[in-house]
Structure 1
Amino acid sequence: MTKPELLVTPKSVEDIIPLAEAGATAVMIGEQRFGLRLAGEFLPGDIEKAVAAAHSAGIKVYVAVNAIFHNDKLEELTEYLAFLEKVKADAIVFGDPAVLMAAREAAPSIKLHWNTETTATNYFTCNYWGRKGASRAVLARELNMDAIIEMKEHAEVEIEVQVHGMTCMFQSKRSLLGNYYLYQGKSMKVEDRSGEGLFLHDKERENKYPIFEDENGTHIMSPNDICIIDELEEMIDAGVDSFKIDGVLKSSEYLLQTTKRYRMAIDLCIDDRDAYEDAKDQLLSELQELQPVNRPLDTGFFFKETVY
């Protein structure tokens, strides 16, 4: 049985070697100009260092180019993709078809991973993008386990599933936080709006939704973190290709400790299923101890019937 990739999103170049030692087999990085909801900001020089560090540790580097692009960004996008080809990034993560079109000329040797956050909900769509050139589809976070298994059975591309971390509930290209600050007569730092610890508070449900801005606008995130460290068997048996730990708004230490536990869970689940059954509750308990007080863990939509 093939082990799924363990993909983690680091905050900095310095995180990459420790994450590789903890068991990550791939990392996803990027910069705000081209990527959405990143764990850290990796400028071109950082990307070059990150690729070198990751490859020296024997793991892969994927670069997020999953923003929504307008005409005035296309030339810059093409140059960026050529740069990623030059530094030997292993894959480009994209949602906008403009990236696919530009990559055919500027970065023909780099693999493409299709990720639109919400629209990878059936295997016909995944296979459509596979036939256009993508080698992987990142499934929507709103799918339940049965749908994921069915998609893997029929997919012509690799399948990636997020198994841990927060998810995006809303994005606007408008500067909603900046405008709110302006309305109140306050200033807002443009450089690091993701580090201010801001929340939308739903008093009725007692939920706190993290909210932040970057160059791509305003993002509202889920009040809970997905965690299915104790429910990996079905996806491993189905052959899901990649498990992702999303590190957005997380500390480096949190990512390191979470990666260690998922590495143990994956290895046990494949090598000794009985040992995994014995250990998984303890692994879940250890992850719960890492959580901030206001961020409970749950299983997302994995075991829910989605109602539209």
Structure 2
Amino acid sequence: MTELLVTPKSVSHIATLIEKGADAFVIGEQKFGLRLAGEFDRSSLKEAVELIHSHDKKVYVAVNGIFHNYHLNALEDYISFLHELKVDRIIFGDPAVVMYVKQHKKPIPLNWDAEALVTNYFQCNYWGDKGAKRAVLARELSLDEILNIKQAVNVELEVQVHGMTCMFQSKRMLLGNYYTFQQRQMKIERNVMSNQLLLYDEERNNQYPVFEDYNGTHIMSPNDICLIEELEALLEAGIDTFKIDGILQSEEYINVCTEQYREAIDLFNEDPESYEDEKFMLVDPIEAIQPEHRPFDEGFLFKQTVY
């Protein structure tokens, strides 16, 4: 059965998402993981793992940051800490993580997530041979590419079905320099109420969320992926995990998305025809709370570009 993977903002939020039907959770701290919906230090990470495991759910810790030599001692210590907690998976992009994990007698299984680089079955199987149990597919793949990869891989596959995607990342703090990103002037608009910084493109009438954290500057897509009406082919192909990415979203928004995608998956498993009949109504509660400046699209599922 396809797993529903979500990104909680806090320990208390995890409890709510369990009630809403989530099967697994991506958590961690920004020092080691990229673009996390919530910050979990060691204390809250331990509490979260205990809560998730007490409900027979899975916890995946993001260790997919960009690491320099001066990060390695801290990285090795953090991976040892994760083995003490007995988390279910470690999400990685850097081979250093693989090497440190392999030092342990009972290595934690790995999920390979190299963002836009995960684009063919050979890569997936290569990292499968190195210890990865899952590949997190690039958000830039079409449906045909996803299905073709599924037929040829020896590992699990994860597909993002909802939320924003990262268009650009720099290790530097670039908010002051982003005017030149598209070689033309762009306005910076700050929404004080949501504490969110947006780049406004007047020509396309797009607003790009921007934020900075330990990993640098991140510029996100102007639209949100929403595949709740397009899950049939992915479910029929046996895609192992659907991810809802809640970065820069409220707890309420993530709750509603989790509830609706849970219903969609369950409907399909019970009767695919019921899903086909009801899928167009499943999106309504999400649309009701969707920010006006963030329209939905299907990402790259049916086209070559979305930006």
Match in the other structure for 1:191: none
1:4, distance to aligned residue in structure 2 (A): 0.3
Match in the other structure for 1:160: 158
Structure 2 counterpart of 1:200, one-letter code: L
Asked if residue 57 in structure 1 is aligned to residue 28 in structure 2, the reply is no
Structure 2 counterpart of 1:146, one-letter code: D
1:275, distance to aligned residue in structure 2 (A): 1.2
Q: CA–CA distance in 1 between the matches of 2:262 and 2:157?
A: 19
Asked whether the 8 Å contact 2:34–2:65 carries over to 1, the reply is yes
1:241, distance to aligned residue in structure 2 (A): 0.3
Match in the other structure for 1:42: 40
Question: Structure 1 length normalisation: TM-score?
Answer: 0.92
Asked whether the 8 Å contact 1:261–1:283 carries over to 2, the reply is yes
Aligned counterpart for 1:141 among listed residues 127, 139, 142: 139
Asked whether the 8 Å contact 2:140–2:299 carries over to 1, the reply is yes
The CA deviation string for residues 182-233 of structure 1, in whole angstroms up to 9 with x for no partner, is xxxxxxxxxxxxx730011111000000000000100000001000101111
Asked whether the 8 Å contact 1:212–1:218 carries over to 2, the reply is yes
Asked whether the 8 Å contact 1:288–1:296 carries over to 2, the reply is no
Q: CA–CA distance in 2 between the matches of 1:206 and 1:179?
A: 21
Asked whether the 8 Å contact 1:85–1:107 carries over to 2, the reply is no
Q: CA–CA distance in 2 between the matches of 1:270 and 1:166?
A: 27
What is the DSSP-based 3-state SS (H/G/I as helix, E as strand, rest coil) of the residue aligned with 1:226? strand
Q: After TM superposition, list the pairs within 5 Å mapping 1:137-286 onto structure 2.
A: 137-177=135-175, 196-286=195-285
Structure 2 counterpart of 1:228, one-letter code: L
1:18, distance to aligned residue in structure 2 (A): 1.1
The CA deviation string for residues 58-102 of structure 1, in whole angstroms up to 9 with x for no partner, is 110000001010111101000000000101111000111111111
1:177, distance to aligned residue in structure 2 (A): 2.8
Match in the other structure for 1:121: 119
The CA deviation string for residues 92-115 of structure 1, in whole angstroms up to 9 with x for no partner, is 001111111111115742110000
Aligned counterpart for 1:96 among listed residues 94, 113, 119: 94
What is the DSSP-based 3-state SS (H/G/I as helix, E as strand, rest coil) of the residue aligned with 1:282? helix
Which runs of 5 or more structure 1 residues have no equivalent in the other structure? 181-194
1:285, distance to aligned residue in structure 2 (A): 2.3
Q: Which runs of 4+ in 1 moved over 6 A?
A: none
Q: CA–CA distance in 2 between the matches of 1:198 and 1:305?
A: 28
Asked whether the 8 Å contact 1:84–1:107 carries over to 2, the reply is no
Asked whether the 8 Å contact 2:253–2:286 carries over to 1, the reply is no
Match in the other structure for 2:187: none
1:145, distance to aligned residue in structure 2 (A): 0.5
Q: CA–CA distance in 1 between the matches of 2:214 and 2:96?
A: 19
Asked whether the 8 Å contact 1:16–1:50 carries over to 2, the reply is yes
> Structure 1 85/7 Cα, relative in aligned 2: closer, same or farther at 3 Å?
same
Match in the other structure for 1:112: 110
Match in the other structure for 1:184: none
> Structure 1 285/305 Cα, relative in aligned 2: closer, same or farther at 3 Å?
same
Q: CA–CA distance in 1 between the matches of 2:65 and 2:105?
A: 17
Q: CA–CA distance in 2 between the matches of 1:31 and 1:130?
A: 25
Asked whether the 8 Å contact 1:6–1:24 carries over to 2, the reply is yes
Q: CA–CA distance in 2 between the matches of 1:77 and 1:43?
A: 14
Asked whether the 8 Å contact 1:62–1:89 carries over to 2, the reply is yes
The number of equivalent residue pairs is: 291
Aligned counterpart for 1:78 among listed residues 76, 79, 92: 76
Asked whether the 8 Å contact 1:143–1:306 carries over to 2, the reply is no
The CA deviation string for residues 30-85 of structure 1, in whole angstroms up to 9 with x for no partner, is 10110110000000111100000101111100000010101111010000000001
Quick one: percent identity of the two aligned structures?
58
Over aligned residues, Cα RMSD in angstroms?
Answer: 1.4
What is the DSSP-based 3-state SS (H/G/I as helix, E as strand, rest coil) of the residue aligned with 2:207? strand
Aligned counterpart for 2:29 among listed residues 8, 31, 35: 31
